[in-house]
Amino acid sequence: MVKCVREPIIKYAEFCAGVGGFRLGIEASKMQAELVYTNEIDNSCEKTYERNFRQGFDSKDIFEVDPASLPDFDMLCAGFPCQPFSVAGKELGFDDSRGTVFFKLLDIIKEKQPKIAFLENVTNLVRHNAGRTFATILRSLEEAGYILSPTVLDTSYFGVPQSRSRIYIIALLEDYYGKTRIQFTERKTERTPLRPFLNNGDYSIPLSPKWQDYVDIYLGKKTAAELSFKAPKTRATLERLATNCDINDCILQVRSSGVRALSLDEPFPTFTVLNSGGGAHIPILSKERRHINITEMKRIMGFPEWYDFGAVSRTDAAKQLANAVCPPVIVSICDDIADTISGAAGAEGDNKHDEQSA
């Protein structure tokens, strides 16, 4: 018997919640939704989450969660760990324990049968292991009774000054929504450049003396031979100078392979924070000779101005933002879900009822 009564409020559970990027997007969308459960293993993320939402997480280690003990919910959301599938990692996929989080999520989905599952990951998930990893994920969800709508979206087309492409999978329970698929909005803006989002004059994350020397090299004010220390190959010269980039007024992206000079009049590439010795290498503005500040990081990730990272160190705040989902994209997708499913359950139920009566 197909359910055909729609609840006005969608109850949702957020797994691998991070600092609440999904929640921010859902609450800013037209979707009428109520959070009933949160899961995240990172203690530092919980400090930030509590500071902003006045509540902690319901559980930490997802592998210790008993699916049968969870409250009922209509939608499951999860930006499950991307490191096992990212080209920036070892690409161990399901051979990495973090890569098996998907199968735990699948267990939860099978037990709770939410009407909607909303998953996010890096785009390399689609290509990983010659496409076999992604095929396994899609097949598993289909066998659990879901109709799938996967799409790749770039944040720079949603008013976010960062080109961060991600794969989003919306799974709708076939017994409730029939064969309904989501019609995604692929862009809301033109590509969004970084320059208008700078918080000029905020020197809250200054350069160390060593990085002042590195910047001198990149600006042509010193040579590597003039330094008081030996610069490693990945720092001694620029790895790449982007087209139409003014080296004296650009952003320097610090990568494990080297340092790249990028134009402020283009979207920033995928925002990542390179970990080093317990700290973090944060992008640098060459003109003001400083690291980008937390306000700029929030803007690069589409987080609201009011969102407070004061409960953790700047390094932890940078890492949390770099691992977050971009709320404006979540807003758009949730709007698309709301528009697509409006009336879909009732209409599908009526159609199936008519078929059964005939």
Q: Which residues are catalytic?
A: 82
Which SS3 state, helix, strand or coil, does residue 194 take?
A: coil
H/E stretch holding 75 reads strand 75-78
**How far lies 110's CA from each of 103, 179, 310, in Å?**
10, 19, 38
Q: Which residues contact 29 (CB under 8 A, 6 or more apart)?
A: 330, 331, 332, 334, 335, 338
Sheet holding 258-262, edge to edge: 238-241, 258-262, 251-255, 284-285, 290-291
Are 264 and 194 in contact by the 8 Å Cβ rule? The answer is yes
Are 341 and 177 in contact by the 8 Å Cβ rule? The answer is yes
**How far lies 39's CA from each of 120, 227, 242, 316, 326, in Å?**
15, 48, 40, 19, 18
Q: Mind giving me the DSSP string for 86-108?
A: -TTS---GGGSGGGGHHHHHHHH
3-state percent helix, strand, coil for the chain, nearest multiple of 5: 40, 20, 40
Place of tokens 């210790």: 64
Helices 327-341 and 344-357 cross at an angle (nearest 10°) of 30
Are 192 and 267 in contact by the 8 Å Cβ rule? The answer is yes
Helices (H), 178-307: 209-218, 233-236, 294-301
Judged on CB neighbours under 10 Å (0-12, 13-18, 19+), 209 is exposed
Are 49 and 17 in contact by the 8 Å Cβ rule? The answer is yes
Place of tokens 């949702």: 12
